[in-house]
Structure formats: structure tokens, C-alpha cells
Structure 1
Amino acid sequence: MAEVKVLTRDFLMKADCKTAFGDIEESLLWSSQQRAASLAATLAGRPSSGPVWIFGYGSLMWNPALEYEESCTATLAGWHRAFCLRLTAGRGTACKPGRMLALKEGGCTTGVAYRLPEAILEEELTLLWKREMITGCYLPSWCKLRLEDGREIYALVFIMDPRHALYESDTRAQIIAPLIAEASGPLGTNAQYLFSLEQELCKLGMQDDCLNELVRRVRDLLAGEKPGPEMKPGFA
């Protein structure tokens, strides 16, 4: 079995995006210049001179790999988690794609907000863009969050771009569970990501009903059992 690469700061700083995450279709791969232009455009829309916060709703919750000055659980209204990104690298391949998490319109999402140090802001965001914007699949957006302590802030949120070539509209559990159960790549298995998400939400006392059926189906598939009957879907 190939060695699984760990997504650390050191890995991200040294990684060659063409090879480090697996084989990415050249037409989809963003250059460092494209990422820099996207970051500059995003910062140009910064809503205020206040601190920059990042909202983590997936792996950023348990593995931010960022230098930050403060973290706080937070709620984002108007968007919900959905495995709507076809995963052909990282934890999947083009031959056996999985599904990665993103945000789609509707509902709300709980996660973790990180306040970045202004002195090293560009360095941290450049690293974050290298992690999240390899193919430019997200729309980095300034969204209002409500922190656990009642503060309201604007934070950078990575929302799925529905115009992207890797966007998948069908996120029903019975469709994506077999994909997640089978997919793997240089960063590990797709199922590991899903279970890490479930574990972190449980640790933080958060509930995401949309994930319950998906987690159950993937576990059943990995255990060699036939998934049970379809449950009433939430947002998908």
C-alpha cells in the first residue's frame, strides 16, 4: 500500500500541486499565478479593516494547518454541507472518483472560525489557497457568521462553484455512499474523511442530520452489508 501523505503545513509549503495530491487533469489545475490572482481579488473585497476570519466546516475543523490567534465555534446561515464535489485527487482518482465536501445554498452550517494574525495574513492565505483552490472549484466569499459567544463577524468561506467541471448536483446518500466507500488516494481514503468529519462534529457537540444516512450507508458498505432502506432526505 502506498504511503499516505499527511496534510501538514510543511507538506503544503513544499507540495508541487501537479503531483502531490495525485493526478489532476491539466485543464483543471490552477497555476500559482491563478491562485494569487484569486486571493488578491478576494482580499480586494474584504468588507472591513478588521481581522480576517476563516470558516472551517470540513477538514479545517480538525486539521486547520494555519497559524491563528483565536478560534471559536460558529454558525453560517444560508448554506449547508453537501458532498457535491467530484473527487479525482487527494482521496480519490479519476478512475475511481469519490466525493468531497462543499457548501450548497439553503439551511445552515455549524463549524469553527479562525482569526488570522494580520502580520502574516498573506502568507497564511497563500497556503490556504494552495490547499483549497488547486482547481479553483470554490468561490471564496465573505459571509456573516455568528460566533458561539454572540459576536457577528465576516469570514472567508469556501462555497462550491456550481459552474465548475467537478460539480455534482446529485448528493443523495444512496448515490454517493458507494463512491465514498471505494475511493482513495495519496491523502488516504474518502471514508476516512467522512468519519473524521462525523467524529469532529460529535466532539464539538454539533449535529448535521444530512450526514447521518450517508455515514450509516458507508459503514454498512465497508462492513459488507447491504445498506438499509432510504431515509427521508434533508438538504442534498
Structure 2
Amino acid sequence: MITRDFLQNADCKTAFGTIEESLLLSPEQRSASLDCTLRRRPDNSPVWIFGYGSLMWNPVFDSEEVQPATLFGWHRAFCLRLTAGRGTHSQPGRMLALKEGGKTTGLAFRLPEEKLREELELLWKREMLTGCYVPTWCELTLLSGQQVTALVFIMDSAHPLFEADTRYQVIAPLIANASGPLGTNAQYLFALEQELRNHGMQDDCLHELVDQVRLLQKAANADNCDPDSQAR
């Protein structure tokens, strides 16, 4: 699991696995991306971050407030080809992002103003290694009904790692088999399912995917335990 200490000390070229040099953002490029995003910050309002994947159960950054929230107009999709972290170039997995349409339930984190730059630099080092996301200011609806503006990491459909085909039949075998320095791709999927359950949330698009990945892993384990299959 990613920790604050890991992120602070990580060498981005090696800590997450092998990342193609042409895709990797330099520290200067990440800083410029963060500067550009902050210049678009609306009216110096509090900075909220919308977590819809691993940020929900392992945000790493410090926050002053956490609220369940809904983002309208975007939905979860495993549309990012994963060649580092929980996948490799030889056995890529799929990572979560957001695609246009529908809605997404997740958690909104309000960052402390006095540590804003420090926390966002950590977040950029985690999410913007290759610039595959477009950090976008979006309106969220908190559980209370309050509307807040939050930073949301949305998939850049022009990025080389974008994958348009997110049918569970296509991506389940990838997620079931991929792993890397940060663990397995399936662990990420199952952790997401559990975290949504913990908050009384659900995402219909996950059900078939989770079931299929579990079936594939069960079949693979059965084959590994079958001496006859080893001889074939």
C-alpha cells in the first residue's frame, strides 16, 4: 500500500515499476501542472478532492473534513492501461478513471489551507506520474445536499494509455492476472468494492466485473492445485 513516506521518498522512475520514459512527467512538469490547476481555483474557495478509487480508502494526504459525495456527469471505468504499480508492460492490468456520462459516488476531502501546496504535491506525485488524468474543477453534491467545488481526476482520452473498451469480458482477465510492485490489480478492485460497501454505496458497473475476476481466479487456483493440469 502507498504510504506518505513512500510518496515523499519515491523515485518516480523506479518506485512504481518500469514506466516508459516518454510518458513520465518530470518534477518540473508536475509542478507546472499543479500551478496551472491552482490558477483555475474558483474564488479561493476551500479545496476539496474527490476520491472515487484508492483515494477513498488510502488518501495519504491530510484533510480537515471528509464527506460522502456524488459527482454527476461522470462514471467509473477501468479505462487506463496499467503497466506499472499493479501491472507490468508484459502483463498489463487496468486502472480506474472517470469517463463522461452517469454519476459517481465517492468521498470528498477538504484540504487544510495552511498545508495546501504540500498535500497537493503529494497527490500530484501519486496521480500525475504520466499525466494520464486531467485535474478538473467539478461541482459535487455532499450527502447533506451542500454543493462544493472539488478537484477531480478525469481520464485524458487522448493519452497513450487510454483504453476505450471497458467491457467486463475484456478487462476481467487483465485484472485477474496483473500484478506489480504495489500488489495485484485484483486487490485494488476488491478493495474498491469493499470500501463502497463500507459507505453504503454501490456501483452497478462493478458487480459483473468483480464476479468475473473472482471466477477467473478460482479457476486458476483450481488448475494450480490439480496435478493432472500440471502434467498437461
Normalised TM-score (structure 2): 0.94
CA distance in 1, matches of 2:43, 2:105: 23
Cα RMSD for the two superposed structures:
0.6
> Are 2:24 and 1:41 equivalent residues in the alignment?
no
Partner of residue 224, structure 2? none
Q: 1:211 aligns with which of 186, 201, 206?
A: 206
Q: Which amino acid aligns with 1:75?
A: T
Q: After the TM superposition, which residues 49-64 of structure 1 pair with which residues of structure 2 at under 5 Å, given as runs? A: 49-64=44-59
Which residue in 2 is equivalent to 1:199?
194
Tell me, in whole angstroms, the C-alpha distance in 1 between the residues paired with 2:145 and 2:100: 23
**AA matched with 1:69:** E
Counting only pairs closer than 5 Å after superposition, residues 129-144 of structure 1 correspond to structure 2 as 129-144=124-139
User: Would you say 1:147 and 2:108 are equivalent positions?
Assistant: no
| SS of equivalent to 1:66 | coil
Residue matched to 1:185? 180
Matched, 1:20 2:15: yes
**1:100 matched to which residue of 2?**
95
Could you tell me how far 1:127 is from its partner in structure 2?
Answer: 0.4
Equivalent AA in structure 2 for residue 131 of structure 1:
R
Structure 2 residue aligned with 1:3? none
From 46, 67, 81, give the equivalent of 2:62.
67
Which amino acid counterpart does residue 136 of structure 2 have in structure 1? Answer: S
3-state SS of paired residue (2:108): strand
Query: For structure 2, which runs of at least 5 residues remain unmatched after alignment?
Result: 221-232
Structure 2 distance, partners of 1:194, 1:153, is 28
Measure how far apart 1:48 and its partner are. Answer: 1.8
Give 2:137's aligned amino acid: W
Partner of 2:165: 170
Residue-by-residue CA offset, 1:114-161 (whole Å, 9 max, x unaligned)? 000000100000000000000000000000000011110000000000
TM-score if structure 1 supplies the norm length? 0.93
Provide the C-alpha distance between the structure 1 equivalents of 2:196 and 2:89, rounded to a whole number of angstroms.
29
Q: Give 1 or 2 for the bigger CA radius of gyration.
A: 2
Could you list the structure 1 runs, at least 4 aligned residues long, displaced by more than 2 angstroms after superposition.
none
- Aligned partners of 2:45, 2:76: CA distance in 1, in Å? 27
Distance of 1:174 and 1:221 partners within structure 2: 11
- Give how far 1:50 is off: 1.4
Structure 1 residues 47-56 or 192-201, which shifts more?
A: 47-56
Equivalents in 2 of 1:90, 1:15: separation in Å? 12
Q: Partner letter of residue 26 of structure 2?
A: S
Q: How far apart are 1:71 and its partner, in Å?
A: 0.3
Larger helix fraction of residues: 2
CA distance in 2 between partners of 1:96 and 1:25 (Å): 15
How many residues of Structure 1 are paired with residues of Structure 2 in the alignment? Answer: 220
Counterpart check, 1:115 vs 2:110: yes
In 2, the alpha carbon distance for the partners of 1:203 and 1:48 equals: 34
Letter in 2 for 1:198: E
Q: What are the ranges of 5 or more consecutive residues in structure 1 without an aligned counterpart?
A: 1-5, 226-236
